[in-house]
């Protein structure tokens, strides 16, 4: 009795290389898969027969393999002859294994059937294919395939069971990601060992080169990844909040980092007072402001965020009182003269004044930002006339990033509101941020099996904003 025919999945599965010897031998991933191929008498019929064979599920359908291949005969291949790779169930010398479309094409002398050897090597397999063929089966459930990328650097946070394979993991990641040259592994907890959210790391593969360039929200950033905080997985959150800011408003970014909120907002015509306590972040923030030409809108500061909340409110009010503004030069208009000639007419520039109040505060320090919110007390003491009901201006929205339990019920929302209540001295409940005493809580991302990052947005309560300063 002949052995059962392997399934397509089994045929294309990488070889099992366990137990692992300690050295990545890429040649061991080479294999030859015997197939049948349909030769096409006229290349004009290739597209038609491909469609018909696909519809009948008689053609090879495997990721990253093109079913149209050069003829295996080098002479015919040099003449442009091609063939269609067939599903592994079809055998070149066994017509009983052929499907109806293939048989019909052969009967019409439009198709022929020949053996074909499909050769695969290490370059064909993806990261997960390679690593699962090497790692012990008990480690397959949580293979570290995801990483935080900063330019050419891939940043991993490997769990202890994977430490014996860390160099191998780094080597394969470099192989399988064209933009990655360096792979590092974090060896402490961000925000625990460093108040600047930097971390100690070890290089798993590639050079120890942490000088990176990244682009996000149509802005360019350059920085030393070992000296500042950057998380590419927060791009969606950066974009979400920036979308809430309106041109001509003022945003205070209390923990701005190198400017992933501030710089794109400035490009949008939003005034931003951007602060970070880390001198290195301030340096690269200043560089990003200049590089992206948003200096009219974004001002960098290097201060403790607790102090900066009041400092920013006072500074913005002083800038507005002094008549500070941005200048927008409008595009030239073409003006037709009496003699028929045209000349460019440059309209006068538009002045965009800095408003006297801040519309949004951003606090992207999830480990501890909520502990800063009591510093809003008295921020606009004595300036009640700047806000509703005396004007149409509402008190600022505060966006506080924080960590909480990962749960699909209200437990994390209630926990976050309880923390805000304790800090503000005003009762906060989940709800609509436009209503005083309510917080809109957005699920940002999961950061661990039982831990989730949220953003709590609330309108600063009047009893906090207008309280006497202490």
The string of pLDDT tens digits covering residues 182-211 is 999 988 654 445 677 778 899 999 999 999
Distance (Å, rounded) from C-alpha 464 to C-alpha 467? 5
> DSSP 3-state assignment of 220?
strand
Q: Are 16 and 137 contacting, i.e. CB atoms less than 8 angstroms apart?
A: no
The neighbour count for residue 67, using CB atoms within 10 Å, is 18
The residue with tokens 């399988």 is 176
Across the range 144-173, mean pLDDT stands at 90
Q: Which residue has the tokens 């509402």?
A: 394
> Which tokens sit at 219?
């802005």
Q: What does the CA dihedral 153, 158, 163, 166 come to, rounded to 10 degrees? A: -20
- Residue 417's Cβ-side half-sphere holds a number of Cα atoms within 13 Å equal to 20
pLDDT for residue 190: 46
3-class state of residue 145 by DSSP:
coil
| DSSP code for 102 | H
Domains of the chain: 33-119 (3.30.70), 127-209 (3.30.300.110), 226-465 (3.40.50.150)
* CB 239 within 8 Å of CB 353: no
pTM of the model: 0.84
Beta-ladder partners of 37: 85, 114
| Confidence tier at 144 by pLDDT (50, 70, 90) | confident
Check whether 319 has a pLDDT greater than 90: yes
The backbone region for 22, taken as left when phi is positive above 0, alpha when psi lies in -120 to 50, beta otherwise, is left
Q: Is 415 annotated as a binding residue?
A: no
> Average pLDDT for residues 281-294, to the nearest whole number?
98
Residue 199: the pLDDT is 81
Tokens representing 106 are 């052969």
Q: How far apart are CA 28 and CA 56, in angstroms?
A: 35
DSSP 283-327: HHHHHHHHHTT-TTTEEEE-S-HHHHHHHHHHHHHHHHHTT-EEE
For residues 431 and 439, give the distance between their C-alpha atoms in angstroms, rounded to a whole number. Answer: 5
Tens of pLDDT, residue by residue over 408-431, are 889 999 999 999 999 999 999 999
Residue 396 has pLDDT above 60, yes or no: yes
Contact 85, 53 (CB under 8 A): no
Is 134:17 a contact under the CB 8 Å cutoff? Answer: yes
| pLDDT(339) > 80 | no
Residue 93, Cβ density class (10 Å: 0-12 exposed, 13-18 middle, ≥19 buried)? exposed
User: What pLDDT shows up at residue 338?
Assistant: 62
Cross-strand partners of 438: 429
Q: Confirm or deny that 218 is annotated as ligand binding.
A: no
pLDDT score of 4 more than 70 = no
- What percent of the chain is modeled with pLDDT above 90? 79
Tens digit of each residue's pLDDT (9 = 90 or more) over 429-459: 999 999 999 999 999 999 888 999 999 999 9
Per-chain mean pLDDT for the chain: 92
Residue among 367, 454, 446 nearest 412 (CA): 454
**Does 276 show up as a binding residue in the annotation?**
yes
- Is residue 277 annotated as involved in ligand binding? yes
In terms of residues, how long is the chain?
A: 470
434 is in an annotated binding site: no
Q: Assess whether pLDDT exceeds 80 at residue 3.
A: no
Output the pLDDT for position 1. 53
278 contacts 317 by C-beta, under 8 angstroms: no
Listed range (95-104, 155-164, 204-213) with the worst mean pLDDT: 155-164
**Lowest mean pLDDT across 4-13, 102-111, 354-363, 449-458:** 4-13
304 assigned binding-site residue: yes
Mark residue 322 as left, alpha or beta (left: phi above 0; alpha: psi -120 to 50; beta: remaining). Answer: alpha
Q: Tabulate helix, strand, coil % of the chain (nearest 5).
A: 30, 25, 45
């Amino acid at each position: 009795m002949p052995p059962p025919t392997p399934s397509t999945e089994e045929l294309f599965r990488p070889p099992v290389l366990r137990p692992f010897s300690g050295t990545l031998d890429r040649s061991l991933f080479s294999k030859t898969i015997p197939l049948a191929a349909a030769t096409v008498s006229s290349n004009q019929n290739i597209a038609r027969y491909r469609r018909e064979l696909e519809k009948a599920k008689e053609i090879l359908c495997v990721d990253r393999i093109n079913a149209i291949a050069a003829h295996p005969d080098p002479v015919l291949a040099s003449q442009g002859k091609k063939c269609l790779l067939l599903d592994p169930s079809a055998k070149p010398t066994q017509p009983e294994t052929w499907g109806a479309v293939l048989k019909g094409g052969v009967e019409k002398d439009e198709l022929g059937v020949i053996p074909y050897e499909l050769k695969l090597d290490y370059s064909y397999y993806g990261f997960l294919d390679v690593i699962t063929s090497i790692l012990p089966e008990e480690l397959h459930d949580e293979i570290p395939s995801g990483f935080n990328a900063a330019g050419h650097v891939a940043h991993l946070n490997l769990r202890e069971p994977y430490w014996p394979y860390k160099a191998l993991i780094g080597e394969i990641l470099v192989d399988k990601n064209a933009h990655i040259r360096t792979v590092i592994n974090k060896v402490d907890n961000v925000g625990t060992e460093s108040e600047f959210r930097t971390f100690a790391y070890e290089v798993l593969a590639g050079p120890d080169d942490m000088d990176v360039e990244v682009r996000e929200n149509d802005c360019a950033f350059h920085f030393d990844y070992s000296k500042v905080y950057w998380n590419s997985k927060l791009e969606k959150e950066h974009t979400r909040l920036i979308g809430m800011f309106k041109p001509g408003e003022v945003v205070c970014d209390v923990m701005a980092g190198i400017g992933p909120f501030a710089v794109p907002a400035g490009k949008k015509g939003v005034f931003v007072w951007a602060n970070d306590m880390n001198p290195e972040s301030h340096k690269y923030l200043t560089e990003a402001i200049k590089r992206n030409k948003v200096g009219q809108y974004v001002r960098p500061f290097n201060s403790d965020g607790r102090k900066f909340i009041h400092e920013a409110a006072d500074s913005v009010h002083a800038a507005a009182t002094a008549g500070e503004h941005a200048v927008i030069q409008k595009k030239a208009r073409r003006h037709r003269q009496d003699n028929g000639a045209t000349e460019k007419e440059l309209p006068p520039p538009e002045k965009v004044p800095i408003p006297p109040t801040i519309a949004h505060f951003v606090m992207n320090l999830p480990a501890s930002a909520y502990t800063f919110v009591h510093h809003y007390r008295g921020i606009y003491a004595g300036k009640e006339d700047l806000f509703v009901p005396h004007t149409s201006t509402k008190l600022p929205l505060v966006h506080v990033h924080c960590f909480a339990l990962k749960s699909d019920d209200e437990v994390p929302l209630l926990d976050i509101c309880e923390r805000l209540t304790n800090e503000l001295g005003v009762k906060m409940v989940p709800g609509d941020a436009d209503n005083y005493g309510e917080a809109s809580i957005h699920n940002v991302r999961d950061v661990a099996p039982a831990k989730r990052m949220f953003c709590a947005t609330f309108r600063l309560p009047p009893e906090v904003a207008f309280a006497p300063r202490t």
